[in-house]
């Protein structure tokens, strides 16, 4: 009997090893010419509202390598995410809720200088605190330690409400005590209404001498 097996083609974006060669999606040589497997920056955008983004790095290409000061090893697949600061202040980015050992790095724009990198802030999850100017776009790189990949959550928090009684950016300072609220009208010093009071001076007129003549 002739054993004929049809090997399917690799589909490059379904997180499955379709052709059973041990390589998934962009790691498969069959996907080398596919646009989705060539470096793109950014691949996704993190919207300030609601301030969270979910996805998977499984089968994504390994486009970036975190700084050695951050992690000794990373050849994992990664995702680049753009975030544009709505106001000047401190922003806390984290991967809390992800299901793998993450590495989180940031750059000042695609191909720009590094803004920071973190491997394990809380257990196997990462956190970065960045000071950004209004309108500045940071590129967040969701990566994995060694070859770790999986489902990620990328979160951002900042002191977005200076009157809610909450420490929104988790920096230990609440509302108007946070420097991020310095320009908020709600945190302006109260107007005491004290002005400069003028002093009125009463002038003395000439009474003229008494006429004593005849």
Calculated CA dihedral for residues 57, 61, 64, 69, nearest 10 degrees = 50
Sheet with 127-132: strands ordered across: 52-56, 151-157, 89-94, 127-132
Q: Record the tokens describing residue 20, joined without a space.
A: 């059973």
Task: Please say if the pLDDT value at position 27 is more than 70.
Answer: yes
Mean pLDDT, residues 184-194 taken together: 81
Task: Please say if the pLDDT value at position 202 is more than 70.
Answer: no
Is the separation of the CB atoms in 47 and 157 below 8 Å?
no
Q: Which of the listed ranges 78-82, 188-192, 196-200 does the model predict with the highest average pLDDT?
A: 78-82
Q: What is the pLDDT of residue 118?
A: 93
Task: Please say if the pLDDT value at position 211 is more than 60.
Answer: no
What residues pair up with 74 in beta bridges, in sequence order?
Answer: 146
Distance (Å, rounded) from C-alpha 158 to C-alpha 178?
10
Mean pLDDT, residues 165-173 taken together: 85
Provide the percentage of residues in the chain whose pLDDT is more than 70.
85
Q: Which of 116, 119, 95 has its CA nearest to residue 46? A: 95
Q: What is the pLDDT of residue 101?
A: 94
Q: What is the pLDDT of residue 195?
A: 54
The per-residue pLDDT of the chain, averaged, comes to 84
Give the model's confidence band at 205: pLDDT under 50 very low, under 70 low, under 90 confident, else very high.
very low
Distance (Å, rounded) from C-alpha 97 to C-alpha 99?
7
Q: Record the tokens describing residue 201, joined without a space.
A: 């001076």
Q: Which residue do the tokens 């940071």 mark?
A: 138
| Cis preceding-peptide flag for 83 (omega within 30 of 0) | no
Mean pLDDT, residues 200-205 taken together: 47
3-state DSSP helix/strand/coil percent for the chain, to nearest 5? 10, 25, 65
Give the model's confidence band at 67: pLDDT under 50 very low, under 70 low, under 90 confident, else very high.
low
């Amino acid at each position: 009997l002739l054993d004929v097996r049809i090997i399917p083609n690799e589909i490059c974006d379904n997180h499955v090893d379709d052709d059973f060669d041990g390589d998934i999606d962009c790691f498969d040589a069959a996907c080398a010419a596919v646009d989705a497997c060539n470096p793109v920056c950014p691949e996704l955008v993190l919207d300030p509202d609601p301030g969270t983004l979910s996805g998977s790095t499984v089968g994504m290409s390994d486009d970036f390598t975190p700084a050695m000061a951050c992690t000794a090893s990373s050849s994992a697949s990664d995702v680049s995410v753009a975030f544009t600061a709505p106001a000047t202040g401190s922003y806390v980015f984290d991967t809390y809720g992800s299901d793998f050992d993450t590495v989180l790095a940031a750059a000042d724009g695609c191909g720009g200088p590094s803004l920071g990198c973190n491997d394990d802030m809380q257990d196997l999850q990462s956190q970065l605190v960045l000071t950004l100017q209004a309108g500045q776009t940071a590129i967040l790189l969701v990566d994995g330690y060694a070859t770790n990949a999986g489902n990620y959550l990328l979160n951002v928090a900042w002191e977005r409400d200076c009157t809610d009684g909450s420490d929104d950016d988790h920096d230990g300072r609440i509302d108007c005590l946070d420097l991020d609220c310095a320009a908020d009208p709600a945190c302006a010093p109260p107007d005491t209404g004290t002005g400069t009071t003028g002093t009125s001076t009463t002038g003395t007129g000439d009474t003229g001498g008494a006429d004593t003549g005849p």
